[in-house]
């Protein structure tokens, strides 16, 4: 979420651009995590990411969160690629 919040800051995108609540709030890692958790709770009734199944549910939350980000920022913002074994090996 740190990469995403840094990208928001660089592009001048506030949490309001994503949430549309009527107030401007800086997009911090904590705020972005809160949005993720709200979405996962809506989708699966879970409050912690540790409650999500490692295969299937995390990808669904990721895909939906990414779709919301893209739509609400007119394509200026998207989630970084989900870590994969190939990506971790490159590091």
Contacts 24+ apart (CB under 8 A), 67-75: 68/18, 68/39, 69/18, 72/17, 72/18, 72/20, 73/11, 73/13, 73/17, 73/18
What residue ranges do the domains of the chain occupy? 2-90
- pLDDT at position 51: 92
- pLDDT at position 85: 47
Q: What is the pLDDT of residues 49-76, one digit of tens each?
A: 889 887 889 889 999 999 999 998 899 9
81 or 23, which is more confident: 81
pTM above 0.85, yes or no: no
Beta carbons within 10 angstroms of residue 69's beta carbon: 22
- pLDDT at position 23: 67
């Amino acid at each position: 979420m740190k990469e995403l919040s840094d990208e928001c800051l660089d592009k001048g995108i506030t949490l309001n651009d994503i949430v549309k609540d009527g107030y401007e709030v800086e997009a911090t890692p904590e705020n972005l995590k809160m949005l993720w958790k709200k979405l996962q709770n809506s989708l699966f009734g879970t409050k912690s990411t540790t409650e999500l199944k490692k295969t299937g549910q995390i990808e669904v939350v990721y895909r939906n969160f990414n779709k919301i980000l893209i739509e609400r920022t007119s394509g200026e913002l998207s989630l970084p690629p989900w870590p994969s074994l190939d990506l971790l090996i490159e590091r």
